[in-house]
């Protein structure tokens, strides 16, 4: 845990031990950290014989369905009981749970566990640590402090959470603690080669076709510092790809030599455009995303804006150019 990151941590541990029923929520379009950290905590709570209702809004991405406990997820509409505690994982603000917002008040207490620098502290208890790589690290620290033993299933989920949010231990959010925790997880029997095969080396045909279509739209700014890709609804429909298949595409724009900021524009339902930002080393893209009502991390963020693809692209590229200017 980073020195800044404890927050309400000391109050959350007793809640886990003493309360009986837990509602667990994470963000829409869940990624490896959201799913891995949730499943790890859900499995740990079940070992303590707690009642756990782990809800989802979207189907789990195919990539993560191999995770131990993945079948614990239920559609949020099934959360029709009363709960002692709602646990929010990897959600920078309450809106991130999407339609599951309608069930959160079924719990008496809200616990917010997150690592986004833009977190709004919406919980009754907040454990926010922007200096750690992932919520996976935070859950590891919590289980460790609560003296709840790991097993291979819990460790596998935590490993996937940490690995995916660090780009498989490549991003600058990979710290000494990150590797120490990974080592502790390997001691529980985690198989990194097998996980890597599942998470990084297995794609659907549609996803690879989408990659080709996305790369064909690549544009780079005149100064070479901004690269962007554009996905229309039509492209998504023609390739048969799902929204989950768009994950990681933005990294191709950022990977170009000289590019500091990569952006992916994706048309979504209802006349809106989903925007994903990545930066290499200087620009804080969480600040840019905030201008558009979104949030995230300094090097990876996202927002959803209304308007046509052209309008949104114009506005966003102007904001990126300004941010680049200030970061010179």
Which SS3 state, helix, strand or coil, does residue 206 take?
helix
In the block, tokens 């940490």 appear at 162
Nearer to Mn ion, 128 or 261 (CB): 128
Nearer to Mn ion, 33 or 93 (CB): 33
DSSP 59: P
Nearest CA to 128 among 138, 141, 136, 142? 138
Stretch that binds Mn ion, among 38-46, 85-93, 274-282, 300-308 (CB under 5 A): 85-93
Q: How far is the CB of 63 from Mn ion (least distance, A)?
A: 15
- Run of H or E including 152: helix 152-165
Nearer to Mn ion, 19 or 27 (CB): 27
Inter-residue contact 276 to 260 (CB < 8 Å): no
Nearer to Mn ion, 90 or 284 (CB): 90
Nearer to Mn ion, 165 or 244 (CB): 165
Q: Which residues within the stretch 202-241 sit at the binding site for Mn ion (CB under 5 A)? A: none
For 206, counting Cβ atoms within 10 Å of its Cβ (0-12 exposed, 13-18 middle, 19+ buried), the class is middle
**CA 42 to the chain's CA centroid:** 17
Number of residues forming the site for Mn ion (CB under 5 A): 3
Q: How far is the CB of 270 from Mn ion (least distance, A)?
A: 26
In the block, tokens 């309450």 appear at 94
Q: How far is the CB of 165 from Mn ion (least distance, A)?
A: 5
Q: How far is the CB of 251 from Mn ion (least distance, A)?
A: 16
- Residues in contact with 87: Cβ distance below 8 Å, sequence separation at least 6, in sequence order: 22, 23, 24, 25, 41, 111, 113
Determine phi and psi for 157, rounding to 5 degrees: -65, -45
Inter-residue contact 276 to 302 (CB < 8 Å): yes
Q: How far is the CB of 33 from Mn ion (least distance, A)?
A: 3
Which SS3 state, helix, strand or coil, does residue 204 take?
coil
DSSP 287: H
Q: How far is the CB of 258 from Mn ion (least distance, A)?
A: 28
Q: Which residue is nearest to Mn ion (CB)?
A: 33
Stretch that binds Mn ion, among 66-74, 87-95, 137-145, 251-259 (CB under 5 A): 87-95
Q: How far is the CB of 188 from Mn ion (least distance, A)?
A: 21
Interaction of residue 33 with Mn ion, rule CB under 5 A: yes
Q: Which residues within the stretch 117-176 sit at the binding site for Mn ion (CB under 5 A)? A: 165
Which SS3 state, helix, strand or coil, does residue 208 take?
helix
Residue 219: CA count within 13 A, CB half-sphere: 12
Q: How far is the CB of 324 from Mn ion (least distance, A)?
A: 25
Nearer to Mn ion, 90 or 227 (CB): 90
Nearer to Mn ion, 33 or 245 (CB): 33
Nearer to Mn ion, 44 or 160 (CB): 160
Interface with Mn ion (CB under 5 A): 33, 90, 165
């Amino acid at each position: 845990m980073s020195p800044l990151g404890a927050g309400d941590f000391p109050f959350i541990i007793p809640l886990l031990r003493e309360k009986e029923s837990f509602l667990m929520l994470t963000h829409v379009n869940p990624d490896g950290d959201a799913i891995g950290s949730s499943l790890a905590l859900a499995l740990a709570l079940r070992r303590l014989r707690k009642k756990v209702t782990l809800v989802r809004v979207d189907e789990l991405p195919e990539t993560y369905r191999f995770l131990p406990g993945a079948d614990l997820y239920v559609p949020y509409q099934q959360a029709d009981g009363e709960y002692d505690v709602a646990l929010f994982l990897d959600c920078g603000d309450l809106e991130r749970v999407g339609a599951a917002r309608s069930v959160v008040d079924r719990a008496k207490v809200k616990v917010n566990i997150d690592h986004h620098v833009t977190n709004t502290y919406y919980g009754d208890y907040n454990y926010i640590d922007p200096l750690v790589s992932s919520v996976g690290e935070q859950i590891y620290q919590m289980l460790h402090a609560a003296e709840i033993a790991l097993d291979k299933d819990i460790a596998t989920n935590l490993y996937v959470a940490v690995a995916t949010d660090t780009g498989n231990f490549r991003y600058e959010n990979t710290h000494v603690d990150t590797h120490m925790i990974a080592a502790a997880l390997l001691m529980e029997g985690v198989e990194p080669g097998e996980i890597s095969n599942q998470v990084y080396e297995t794609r659907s045909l549609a996803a690879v076709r989408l990659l080709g279509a996305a790369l064909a739209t690549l544009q780079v700014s005149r100064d070479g510092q901004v690269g962007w890709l554009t996905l229309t609804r039509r492209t998504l429909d023609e390739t048969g790809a799902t929204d989950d298949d768009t994950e990681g595409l933005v990294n191709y724009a950022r990977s170009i030599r000289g590019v500091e900021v990569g952006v992916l524009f994706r048309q979504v339902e209802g006349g809106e455009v989903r925007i994903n930002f990545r930066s290499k080393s200087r620009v804080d893209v969480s600040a840019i995303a905030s201008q558009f009502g979104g949030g995230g991390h300094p090097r990876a963020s996202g927002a959803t804006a209304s308007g046509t693809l052209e309008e949104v692209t114009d506005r966003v590229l102007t904001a990126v150019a300004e941010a680049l200017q200030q970061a010179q």
